Amino acid sequence: SQTIHQWPATLVQPVGSPLSLECTVEGTSNPNLYWYRQAAGRGLQLLFYSVGIGQISSEVPQNLSASRPQDRQFILSSKKLLLSDSGFYLCAWESQKGGPGELFFGEGSRLTVL
């Protein structure tokens, strides 16, 4: 069966510090991968998606970046965090093999920037 792991689960970082959130998927190959941010009391904002190794599409301009060094690994990074980067970050995968296209989400990483 397929699983998705995200870490760390919680993170408290000072303004201006770097960030690295990791996401790995097991039990499937060549998934589409997504990073979403969920601000408090709000819905999901799509940040990045990837259809393959090294292929990253950015949905919103920001000081975050994403990389996909391996087929089932997706990393969200920042060189210098801002207060506004605080939020709940969710990684998700989707099969490229057709079907209803549902997203499978990780458990999330809660980032607090102080």
Q: Which residues bind another protein (CB under 8 A)?
A: 6, 32, 41-44, 46, 90, 92, 100-108, 110
Residue number with CB closer to another protein (85 or 106): 106
Contact (Cβ atoms closer than 8 angstroms) between residue 24 and residue 68: no
Whole-angstrom Cα distance, residue 72 to residue 52?
A: 9
- CB 70 → another protein: shortest distance, Å? 21
Residue number with CB closer to another protein (67 or 96): 96
User: Which residues make Cβ contacts (< 8 Å) with residue 8, sequence separation at least 6?
Assistant: 21, 109
- CB 67 → another protein: shortest distance, Å? 21
